Structure 1
């Protein structure tokens, strides 16, 4: 009788457990994680050229699409949606989080949607509205 009760309790405990790390949506699963900002695209003599950036600016894409800065706080001017390798994804802020006190000083003029191209450990982020598009290059941390 004890074994039956123990087995029943163990089964209920296993069923009640939820994963602390929910799976990301398929549209963004390739970009979830930490990325280091390494270059920006500049036009030099009418030719697009990659220019290395100084300093460190890491970002993390959470499983719900929220972008966190290097301190783990949500990005002030994050987009509301992404197009990742051709797939559209709407950001779902599933957990309320404190935002940086500096966000009140930031003028967010970016586009509500970013176009992201991810291939292996390289990420290209096209932000900004047409005709002014800012292209940034990140590598996986």
Structure 2
């Protein structure tokens, strides 16, 4: 099953090097059965909110440690305020913070430092679940 359409993935962090590392780890295609990824980078809350308001987002990846608005709190806000919120993956600095990501209603987590195989696999799983309209439980 090949998906010909482009997938829009937003990555949010005030740190440019983290946004770049996510793009590099996942690549232009998370899996061979998925479409190419069109990456959108957001460095602050207003950029992120504008992208979400557009409604054309397939996946959001939030830096859990972003400043001044952290991805964990933003995830919970978006999940509770946006109808048909796109799936959200939270980047965590510590495995022990997965409980916070669960509280925030995140669809998945990726722990830093980024493992490219695990990052691409996680992004692929979440995108496939969205395409199949299956709720992601992780």
Q: Given the two structures, how large is their TM-score scaled by the length of structure 1?
A: 0.26
The higher relative CO (CA closer than 8 Å, separation ≥ 6) is in 2
Higher helix share: 2
- Which is strand-richer, 1 or 2? 1
Structure of larger gyration radius: 1
